Amino acid sequence: MDVSLRDGNQSLWGATGLRTAHIAQIAPVMNRAGFRALDYSSSTAMGVSVRVHRENPWELLRITRAAMPDTRLQFIGTGFRFISWERAHPDVIALVYQCLIRGGMDRFVVLDPTHDVEAMRASARIVKQAGGTSAEVVAALTYTISAVHDDSFYAGLARQYAACPDIDRAYIKDPSGILTPERAATLIPAVQAALGGKPLELHSHASLGLSPRTCLLAASLGVDVLQVGCGALGNGTSLPDAQELVANLRASGHRVDVDDRLIDVIARYFDSVADAEGLPKGMPRGFDAAFLDHQVAGGVMTTTRRQLRELGMEARFDELMAEITRVRAELGYPIMVTPFPQMVIGQALANLLSARPASGAAQATTVPSTTVPSTTAPSKARRYDTVPDQVIRYVLGTFGKPTAPVAPDVLAKILDRPRARELEREPEPLDVPALRRRFGERISDEELVLRFGMPAAEVDAMMAAPPAVTHYNPDLVPVLRLLRELAGRPAVARMTIDKPGFGLSLKGRG
Contact yes or no for 23/312 (Cβ under 8 A) = no
Same-domain check for residues 31 and 104: yes
Same-domain check for residues 74 and 106: yes
Domain count, the chain: 3
Q: How far is Cα 486 from Cα 495, in angstroms, rounded to an integer?
A: 10
Chain centroid to CA 210 = 20
Same-domain check for residues 362 and 239: no
Predicted local distance difference test score (pLDDT) of residue 6: 97
Q: Is 160 contained in some domain?
A: yes
Same-domain check for residues 322 and 210: no
Q: Is 93 contained in some domain?
A: yes
Q: What CATH number did the domain enclosing 337 receive? A: 1.10.472
Contact yes or no for 297/305 (Cβ under 8 A) = no
Predicted local distance difference test score (pLDDT) of residue 510: 58
Domain boundary among 277, 301, 333: 277
Q: How far is Cα 111 from Cα 337, in angstroms, rounded to an integer?
A: 9
Same-domain check for residues 245 and 326: no
Q: How far is Cα 342 from Cα 355, in angstroms, rounded to an integer?
A: 20
Contact yes or no for 15/299 (Cβ under 8 A) = yes
Predicted local distance difference test score (pLDDT) of residue 160: 98
Contact yes or no for 74/108 (Cβ under 8 A) = yes
Predicted local distance difference test score (pLDDT) of residue 377: 37
Q: Is 119 contained in some domain?
A: yes
Domain boundary among 424, 439, 469: 424
Domain boundary among 403, 424, 445: 424
Q: What CATH number did the domain enclosing 86 receive? A: 3.20.20.70
Q: How far is Cα 424 from Cα 419, in angstroms, rounded to an integer?
A: 9
Same-domain check for residues 239 and 166: yes
Q: Write down the pTM of the prediction.
A: 0.84
Predicted local distance difference test score (pLDDT) of residue 302: 74
Q: How far is Cα 144 from Cα 330, in angstroms, rounded to an integer?
A: 16
Q: Which residues of 347-366 are buried (b: 16+ CB within 10 A; e: fewer)?
A: bbbbbbbbbeeeeeeeeebe
Q: Is 346 contained in some domain?
A: yes
Please name every residue paired with 204 in a beta bridge, in sequence order, or none if there are none.
Answer: 174
Cα separations (Å) of 75 from 3, 88, 319, 441? 11, 17, 35, 27
Q: Is 47 contained in some domain?
A: yes
Q: How far is Cα 112 from Cα 339, in angstroms, rounded to an integer?
A: 10
Same-domain check for residues 262 and 318: no
Q: Is 466 contained in some domain?
A: no
DSSP string, 245-279: HHHHHHHTT----S-HHHHHHHHHHHHHHHHHHT-
Structural domain harbouring 162:
4-277
Predicted local distance difference test score (pLDDT) of residue 420: 94
Q: What is the pLDDT along the chain (510 residues), one digit of tens a residue?
A: 999 999 999 999 989 999 999 999 999 999 999 999 999 999 999 999 999 999 999 999 999 999 999 999 999 998 888 988 788 999 999 999 999 999 999 999 999 888 889 999 999 999 999 988 899 999 999 999 888 899 999 999 999 999 999 999 999 999 989 999 999 999 999 999 999 999 999 999 999 999 999 999 999 999 999 999 999 999 999 999 999 999 999 999 999 999 999 999 999 999 999 999 999 999 998 887 767 767 776 667 777 888 788 888 888 898 999 999 899 999 988 888 777 888 899 899 889 888 654 444 333 333 333 433 333 333 456 899 999 999 999 999 888 788 789 999 999 999 999 999 999 888 889 999 999 999 999 999 999 999 999 999 999 999 999 999 999 999 888 777 777 777 777 777 777 878 888 888 878 775
Q: Is 452 contained in some domain?
A: no
Cα separations (Å) of 350 from 129, 319, 389? 42, 12, 12
Same-domain check for residues 183 and 249: yes
Same-domain check for residues 194 and 301: no
Same-domain check for residues 57 and 176: yes
Q: Is 416 contained in some domain?
A: yes
Same-domain check for residues 272 and 301: no
Predicted local distance difference test score (pLDDT) of residue 183: 97
Q: How far is Cα 408 from Cα 402, in angstroms, rounded to an integer?
A: 13
Same-domain check for residues 151 and 267: yes
